Amino acid sequence: MARVLLADLERVWRGGQEQALLLMTGLQRRGHGVELVAVRDAAIALRAQAAGIRVHAVSDSLRRIGAARRIRKLVAGEKRFDIVHANEAHALTAAWFGRSHRYVPLVAARRVAFPLSRSRISRARWSAAAKILAVSEAARKQLLAAGLAADRIEIVADGVEIPGRIPSETREKARQRWGFSAAGEIVLECVAALTPEKGHALLIDAFAKLRRGPGGGKLRLLLAGDGRLRQQLEQRAREAGVESSVVFAGFVSDVEAVYAAGDLFVFPSLQEGAGSSLLRALAFGLPVVALERGGVGEIIQDGRNGVLAREATPEALAQAIERTLGAPASMERLSRAGRETVAERYSADRMIEATEHIFAELIAERAGNR
């Protein structure tokens, strides 16, 4: 069994941290030893501890230097681990500073489809990884464009657990929580951090157009997530005249309640590696409208398991939403197809198994070279 040291230095809880926790708990169930290097009292540290995972906490003030020292001690000094997995870029920097790759295989996750920095330091830290796990083909292409070796890049898609169907009483309670009526109102929703690339401004503008159209008075918008753009987005909703119809829920720890409350999930991300919240919406059986950007087109096949807006304009997004809401029978079909897509290609078990296999190959290869 492998001894895995995972590092994640993010302070907030987002899709990448959710994937890390799924991976750690999944590997534990399969008999592997897993420990975490994380910022003290960060969301991932607290949730990992609650799941019975040992956490090596580092100070927030100098997180990368502190993590580098801790990783080096654990890997080079105490020799307690067979592999280091850097779950995000800060963790990769720390693992590289700590020279972990000189002692055990270093694996790095790449969850976004942004271009890599061309700086020498950026190139050096990514080149130190024995394998880079790209979340999608879109993410892989950016790694290749930066000049990284193709044989070091593997695509391992995000995975989500597949829940049962939402009971009617759970749905009613969830809708009441945010002030929605049990019937009559149609709730559009999005789960994402309030950051520029997630496209919330585009969604609010599209929603305002829909509210002015036929039947628009029934529409409500639920935005779950927090971030530095919150005040700006609230102002945008006021200026568009839809403030009373938009709920800014902030960070929701029991995010399942958000999915339970909605009728249609809208994913307007302008640049996305894949989108774990998109996958969760599909798993919950929500019909999905998404912007065709980044890795989203690898998940959603337009008209089969969701609806894609081709252009990043309020008009195109509003039209895609209107077209979807106007075909109730199609929404039910999209709901079934979305769940099937997750079960076949994006389950948590598939993600864990694929990662476990890569870890095993790297450990065996290193042992054979000694």
CB 147 within 8 A of CB 124: no
In terms of Cβ atoms closer than 10 Å to its own Cβ (0-12, 13-18, 19+), residue 156 is buried
CATH 3.40.50.2000 positions along the chain are: 3-159+347-368, 168-345
* Architecture of the 168-345 domain: 3-Layer(aba) Sandwich (3.40)
- How far apart CA 319 and CA 299 sit, in angstroms, is 21
Mean pLDDT value across the chain: 94
pTM for the full predicted model = 0.92
At 297, the pLDDT band (50, 70, 90 cuts) reads: very high
Rg (CA), the chain: 21
pLDDT tens by residue, 218-270? 999 999 999 999 999 999 999 999 999 999 999 999 999 999 999 999 999 99
pLDDT tens by residue, 170-179? 999 999 999 9
Per CATH, domain 3-159+347-368 is 3.30.460.80: no
Q: Of the given ranges (101-110, 117-126, 345-354), which has the lowest mean pLDDT?
A: 117-126
- For 249, the 3-state DSSP assignment is strand
Amino acid sitting at position 298 = E
How far apart, in Å, are the Cα atoms of 55 and each of 2, 49, 70?
A: 17, 7, 11
Structure confidence at residue 215 (pLDDT): 87
